[in-house]
Amino acid sequence: MPRQRLFVASCVSLVTTSMVFAIRGDVAGPMSSAFKLTNEQMGLIFSPAFWAFTIAIFISGGLVDIVGMRALHILSAIGYFVGIGLVLLAPHPAAPVASIFDNSGTALLYAGFLVMGLSQGLVEGVINPLVATIYSDQKTKRLNMLHAWWPGGLVIGGLLAVAMTMAINASWQLKLATILVPAAIYLIMAMTMPYPATERVASNISTTAMWGEAAKPLFLLLFVCMWMTAAAELGPDQWFPTVMGALVPKLQGVLFLVYTAGLMFLLRTFGSGIAHKNPIGTLFVCSILTGLGLYWLGSLQPGTGAFVAFAAATLFGIGKSYFWPTMIGVTAEQFPRGGALLISLMGGAGMLSVAVALPIMGSRIDSLGPAAALRMVAVLGAILAVIFGGLLLYFRRRGGYKAIQLSLTRT
């Protein structure tokens, strides 16, 4: 089994997923002008980024054991080609439209982003159980290394878009088409490699037993925590350019997002062993750092110096770095009998959490300002610290945290 090639293909597919987020944000303005859309209509166009993503994660949790990880990985890559093709071929309306579904061009635009959202969810639904299967002895470490390429893709996509604008004043169509490059790479890789059965299937764990794992108290507690960790990590990320631009007017707010994404990439790539050695302890420390970092950022006054702002952003960036992959890793290590289903439930909870958190933060920004929104989210860090601190004591009383291993009966 080509473990390293499968891991690389997983990383490239995650880069593709995050590049969509980065480049979509860069082309939103010219795209709305080309299709004569209001901000509200553009928001509706982009909405599948969350709900279609989430639906695909949930569906793939059940399908991956039936049709196989290879088929779904290939399908996700094809989806990027179909989705971007629909967007690029959509005819531009001659005048503003009352509803995006009243015009063929804007309807195709919506369909294109819907297909891309489904592809993004399929990627997440495949690569997590794949990496947990091929590295069953170091799940948390390898999942952290894998998810380093989420912020890595944000940096790549963001800097690529800026460079294309500065160098050749590239059109939004050309920028969007660059997403097809990594999609083509992992499509070719997926088509030319054998994939293993998931760990749950290879161990002959029944579907009934798999669903039974979802009712265990520890999983339910982790499921609730995933809503809070995802909101604390990704909620502020989406508002960072706006919030930090208001607090530090001398710098572009997007620089803080790129900086924390780069910091996250380095920590997940080269510090994954920290999370692997003590996952619950890592989550406990990260909760404290995230809460303190967000509260510090929320206490900054307009006109704050860049050094202080970056110091606060650094604390937040370090804290949030291990949240998502370590939560997935703990789920995979403590509930291997739950297979891809439980991993997908955790990922889906994370994406739904962001969809809920964003408008709440937006409302807080409108009513009380950006600083108050960050302080509000900082409370989640305190709650999580209490929960993970309790879990840390729980595992210590049981002799320490240990990953549960399954006996593989077939390959």
Q: 200 in a domain, yes or no? A: no
Of the three residues 141, 162, 194, the one that is the final residue of a domain is 194
Q: State the pLDDT at residue 304.
A: 66
Q: 302 in a domain, yes or no? A: yes
Q: State the pLDDT at residue 177.
A: 95
- Tokens coding 130: 């794949």
Q: 47 in a domain, yes or no? A: yes
Let me know: does 196 contact 133? Beta carbons within 8 Å. yes
Q: 207 in a domain, yes or no? A: no
Of the three residues 159, 194, 229, the one that is the final residue of a domain is 194
Q: For position 145, which CATH number holds?
A: 1.20.1250.20
Q: State the pLDDT at residue 411.
A: 39
- Tokens coding 176: 């969007």
- Tokens coding 400: 């320490």
Measured CA to CA, the distance from residue 28 to residue 269 in angstroms comes to 31
Q: Do 133 and 94 lie in a common domain?
A: yes
The model's pTM is 0.87
Q: 410 in a domain, yes or no? A: no
Concatenate the DSSP letters of all residues of 144-185 into one string. HHHHTHHHHHHHHHHHHHHHHHHHH---HHHHHHTTHHHHHH
Domain span including residue 285: 212-403
Let me know: does 321 contact 261? Beta carbons within 8 Å. no
Q: Do 175 and 277 lie in a common domain?
A: no
Q: State the pLDDT at residue 410.
A: 42
Number of H helices, E strands in the chain: 19, 0
- Tokens coding 138: 């170091």
Going residue by residue through the chain (411 aa), what tens digit of pLDDT does each one get? Answer: 789 999 999 999 999 999 988 888 778 778 888 888 877 787 788 777 778 888 898 888 878 888 999 999 999 999 999 999 999 999 998 888 888 888 888 999 999 999 999 999 999 999 999 999 999 888 999 999 999 999 999 889 888 888 888 888 889 899 999 999 999 999 999 999 999 988 888 788 888 888 899 999 999 999 999 999 999 988 887 666 666 666 666 666 667 777 888 899 999 999 888 888 899 999 999 999 999 999 998 888 776 677 888 898 899 999 999 999 999 999 999 999 998 889 989 988 988 888 788 778 878 877 887 788 889 999 999 999 999 999 999 999 999 899 888 765 543
Q: Do 140 and 220 lie in a common domain?
A: no
Q: Do 300 and 220 lie in a common domain?
A: yes
Please give the tally of structural domains in the chain.
2
Q: Do 324 and 175 lie in a common domain?
A: no
Q: Do 279 and 173 lie in a common domain?
A: no
Q: Do 45 and 187 lie in a common domain?
A: yes
Q: State the pLDDT at residue 112.
A: 94
Q: Do 16 and 142 lie in a common domain?
A: yes
- CA 94, 97, 102, 108 dihedral sign is positive
